Chain A
Amino acid sequence: MLARLFATAALLVGIAAGDAGAQLKVVTSTSDLYDIARSVGGDRIKASHIGEGFQDPHFIEAKPSFVIQLRNADVWAFVGLDLEIGWMPLLLDGARNQKIMMGGPGYLDVSKVVPVIDVPRGTVDRSQGDVHPLGNPHYWLDPENGRRIARLFRDKFSELDPKNAATYTANEQAFEDRLNAAEKGWQADLAAIKGKPVVAWHTSWRYFAEYTGMDIVAYMEPKPGVPPSPSQLMAVVAAVKRTGAKVIIMEPFYDRKLADVVARETGVQVLILPPSVGGTPAAADYVKLMQYDIAQVAKAVK
């Protein structure tokens, strides 16, 4: 057994030495992080992601095939704030890759660089639903946070692969330039959205609301993660009638039947909006995701 261990170690050292000029292998928890990482890393990284854009990122199955992806990763980038708490520990334990374990050079908790909102105060317990004690994790839906994420990837990739640092810096700047240009294009939509009352299914649109200025007057979920109850539906109907909200914004992975109940009662529009890259074909990358979501909401509230 000892001989095998030494042979394995020698093989790994050899592989590592031979891989010195290879692409960084980057695995991300969501398609948004994946797209931004790819924008920054370009052809100097080999990126993949675990969750799809039309999938609830809270409830991803920790499939063994993901373990294989993580086993050889140089960087594991995740949203953090307990978004992946239900599946990430299993994958990291299974991958047995010290580079991406907590404390390893490739363990990248992206939430560390964003200003977090909705951090609960006082006692937190599960009577409050799937509350995130460290704050709301859906921060990528604010483009300013998109920039922060890109800069974080630039710094991390440059740290792990310094000889390509200039490439990462240039790519990151190009990403910001593209986002800046797109942002100028959607200013009219932002003006249309600002101050408009909307209903959201889950708290995942809070950062989006902070950025766009839309006013979330009610949630379909009575508490985060808790399916709508009849009394909650009545409360939402009352909120829509009281505020004049014209739209219910919901993710593609929720069942729209209950939103349709409110729509029938009030005439409100049910808008299925992708929260992540790939959630719909039009949201093919991060900039297009923001562009699409802002345009759709603007159209609905006008």
Chain B
Amino acid sequence: MPIMPRSIAAALAALALLSASAAAQQGGAQGPTNPRMLPDVSAVGDLVADLSPKGSTQPDLSRFAVREVEVALQAVVDPYFRGDVFLGFSDAEGASIEQAFLTTTALPGGLQARLGRFLMPFGKQNTTHRHDLHTVEYPYIIQRFFGSEGLKGTGATLSDVFAPFGFYQEFMVSVTDRAGERAEGLTPAAPANRNLDGLGYSARLRNYWDISEATNIEVSGSAITSLREQPLALPAGAASGDVNAVNVRQSVFAGDVTFRWRPLQQGLYKSLILQAEVMHQANDIPSVVPPLGRPGPGASAPPLAYAGPTSGYTGGYVFGRWQLSRRLYAGARYDALQDPEAEGARFTAGSALLEWYPSEFSKLIAQYERTSPSGGPALDRILLQASFAIGPHKPHPF
């Protein structure tokens, strides 16, 4: 996915030209506002500072970082599709295609298909861009199961909205090339997606009720399954490029509930969100592991030992946010999980934060967090985030 970092400047220059052209065509008094049908061009900057007392807790140990700049190009393609492209630029990954998808606009029966790369419709917070979260980072259960940037997929998703029982329901099914990022350095005997049963398959059912004019609740469930590369224990002297992984089925099941309160008349000043999400990761154990050797036929060395996960992991979080004034919010989150990065050892974290919106287009967060890994010392973290959006930024999903 990452492309050459030096392409960043060229890409930004092209986008600047596009933006300038879009601006230049404004001003026709009575004609269409976009006669050349140029796409909406917008950008989001996501800046993070880590002032933790015992040193930075960021992967690159930076105290101040531009975590990501995301540039979006969005437009209707034709009478049948709209197109959305999100390009991410970061010091860590260079430039990458964060999302790029076609969405159908003309399927019958309320069906909608999406083709391309997108945030997987799995769980609640995973469907929100990281810079749009109410916390600086994703909940730990998402970070540990899917990575710090959440779960994305490349493939297709089909969804339908219906209300046979008088309330809103949406069902989404997806098939993707794989579920989650490929683990670096793992080489299985064959790609996980060689057979169709190795692809990523997911489903999500959303259920939404208005409890009253001011309150509502959403209860949803998700599941995803695919083959994932899991490590094998290599004997000493194994060569680079040898088979060192085996494809094993991994499935994740999730349930989430979100309660919202926002009085209509005082909605500018008062609101409350309470949210909880639980996930369980189930890991199969391979009955047969491949022998040591290079991928392909003819390998005849003795089997290796399986070094991947041998049990399931469960975790979740609860989150709440209370609006203090028109621009200021206070929030807290508690995470608890069996950490897959520590063989299931208990990991907990509690955080409190203040979130300030100078406007709809800028946001500042100050967050204190205390993480408590089982058997390890607690760690205090102080994180600051500033994010901003320029251009015609689309509204955030409800």
Which A residues are closer than 8 A to B by beta carbons? 5, 8-9, 11-12, 52, 54-56, 59, 61-65, 67-68, 71, 85-87, 89-90, 94-98, 101, 103, 126, 130, 134, 225-227, 252-255
26 contacts between A and B (CB under 8 A): A8-B111, A9-B108, A54-B265, A55-B264, A55-B265, A55-B267, A61-B262, A61-B398, A62-B398, A63-B398, A64-B170, A86-B360, A89-B395, A90-B397, A90-B398, A94-B161, A96-B111, A96-B161, A97-B110, A98-B106, A225-B359, A252-B265, A253-B265, A253-B266, A253-B268, A255-B266
Q: Which of B110, B210, B264 is in CB contact (< 8 Å) with A52? A: B264
B310 within 8 A of A: no
Query: B102 CB to closest chain A CB, in angstroms?
Result: 14
In B100-132, the 8 Å CB interface with A consists of 105-112
- Taking CB atoms, residues of chain B closer than 8 Å to A89 are 394-395
**For residue A92, which residue of chain B has the nearest CB?**
B105
Residues of A within 8 A of B167 (CB): 65
Q: Is the CB of B327 within 8 A of A227?
A: yes
Tell whether A101 pairs with B105 under 8 Å between CB atoms, given A62-B395, A253-B268. yes
Q: Are the CB atoms of A67 and B395 closer together than 8 Å?
A: no
Number of B interface residues in the complex (CB < 8 A): 38
Residues in chain A near residue B216, CB distance under 8 A: 63, 65
A94 to B172 alpha-carbon distance, docked (Å): 13
Interface residues of B in 369-398 (CB under 8 A from A): 394-395, 397-398
Chain A residues, Cβ within 8 Å of B168: 64-65, 67-68
How far is the CB of A6 from the nearest CB of chain B, in Å?
9
Q: Which residues of B contact A226 (CB under 8 A)?
A: 359
Q: Which residues of B contact A (CB under 8 A)?
A: 33, 79, 105-112, 161, 163, 167-168, 170, 206, 208, 210, 213, 216, 218, 260, 262, 264-269, 326-327, 359-361, 394-395, 397-398
Q: How far is the CB of B152 from chain A (nearest CB, A)?
A: 20
Report the minimum CB–CB distance from A227 to chain B (whole Å): 6
**Do B395 and A64 touch across chains, with their CB atoms under 8 A apart?**
no
CB contact between A126 and one of B107, B265, B326, B361 (< 8 Å): that residue: B361
Q: Does B105 lie within 8 Å of A98, measured CB to CB?
A: yes
- Please, which residues of chain B bring their CB within 8 A of the CB of A126? 359, 361
Closest 3 CB pairs of A and B: A8-B109, A64-B168, A64-B208
A63 and B210 contacting across the interface, CB-CB below 8 Å: yes
A-chain residues with CB within 8 Å of residue B361 when the two chains form the complex: 126
Give the distance to chain A from B205, nearest Cβ to Cβ, in Å. 13
* A61-B258 Cα distance, complex, nearest whole Å: 15
Contacts of B111 in A (CB 8 A): 5, 8, 96
Contacts A59-B268, A65-B208, A227-B326 aside, 20 further interface pairs with beta carbons under 8 A come to A5-B111, A8-B109, A12-B108, A55-B267, A62-B395, A63-B208, A63-B210, A64-B170, A65-B167, A67-B168, A68-B163, A85-B395, A89-B395, A90-B397, A96-B105, A98-B106, A227-B327, A253-B268, A255-B268, A255-B326
What is the distance, in angstroms, from B58's C-beta to the closest C-beta of chain A?
30
Residues of chain B within 8 A (CB-CB) of A95 are: 161
For A67, the chain B residues whose CB sits under 8 A away are 161, 168
Residues of B within 8 A of A255 (CB): 266, 268-269, 326
Cβ–Cβ < 8 Å partners of B79 in chain A = 103
- Contacting residues, chain B, for A56 (C-beta < 8 A): 267-268
Q: Is the CB of B206 within 8 A of A64?
A: yes
A186 vs B168: C-alpha distance when bound (angstroms): 45
Cα separation A22 to B189 with both chains bound (whole Å): 63
Query: Contacts A9-B109, A67-B161 given: A86-B170 contact, CB under 8 Å?
Result: no
CA distance A11 to B213 in the complex (A): 33
**Across the interface, which residues of A come within 8 angstroms of B208, CB to CB?**
63-65
> Whole-angstrom distance between the alpha carbons of A89 and B267 in the complex?
20
Q: How far is the CA of A52 from the CA of B167 in the complex (A)?
A: 20
Residue of B33, B262, B268, B397 touching A134 (CB-CB under 8 A) = B33
CB distance from A53 to the nearest CB of B (A): 10
How many Å from the CB of A88 to the closest CB on chain B? 8
Question: What chain B residues lie within 8 Å of A98 (beta carbons)?
Answer: 105-106
B265, A5: Cβ atoms closer than 8 Å: no
Taken together as a complex, chains A and B put the C-alpha atoms of A103 and B112 apart, in Å, by: 18
A36 to chain B, nearest CB (A): 21
For B360, the chain A residues whose CB sits under 8 A away are: 86, 130
| Closest CB in chain A relative to B48 CB, distance in Å | 23
In the complex the two chains form, what is the Cα distance from A98 to B112 in whole Å? Answer: 12
Among B108, B110, B326, point to the contact of A71 (Cβ < 8 A).
Answer: B110
Within the assembled complex, what's the spacing in Å between the Cα atoms of A87 and B260? 17
Q: What residues of chain A lie closer than 8 Å to B33, measured between beta carbons? A: 134
- In the complex, how many angstroms separate the beta carbon of B113 from the nearest chain A beta carbon? 11
- CA separation between A254 and B267, bound complex, in Å? 9
CB contact under 8 A between A86 and B161, given known A56-B268, A59-B268, A65-B168? no
A96 touches B112 (CB 8 A): yes
Q: How far is the CB of A174 from chain B (nearest CB, A)?
A: 31
A103 to B327, CA, bound (A): 37
Q: How far is the CB of B254 from chain A (nearest CB, A)?
A: 19
CB distance from A179 to the nearest CB of B (A): 27
Q: Are A65 and B210 in contact (CB under 8 A)?
A: yes
Residue of A nearest to B213 (CB): A52
Measured between beta carbons, the chain B residues less than 8 angstroms from A96 are: 105, 107, 110-112, 161
Q: Whole-angstrom distance between the alpha carbons of A54 and B105 in the complex?
A: 34
CA distance A62 to B397 in the complex (A): 8
Tell me the smallest distance from the CB of A252 to a CB of chain B, in Å.
6
Nearest neighbor of B389 in chain A, beta-carbon distance = A126
A273 CA to B397 CA in the complex, in Å? 32
How many angstroms from the CA of A134 to the CA of B397 in the assembled complex?
Answer: 25
A58 to chain B, nearest CB (A): 9
Name the A residues within 8 Å of B359 (CB-CB).
126, 130, 225-226
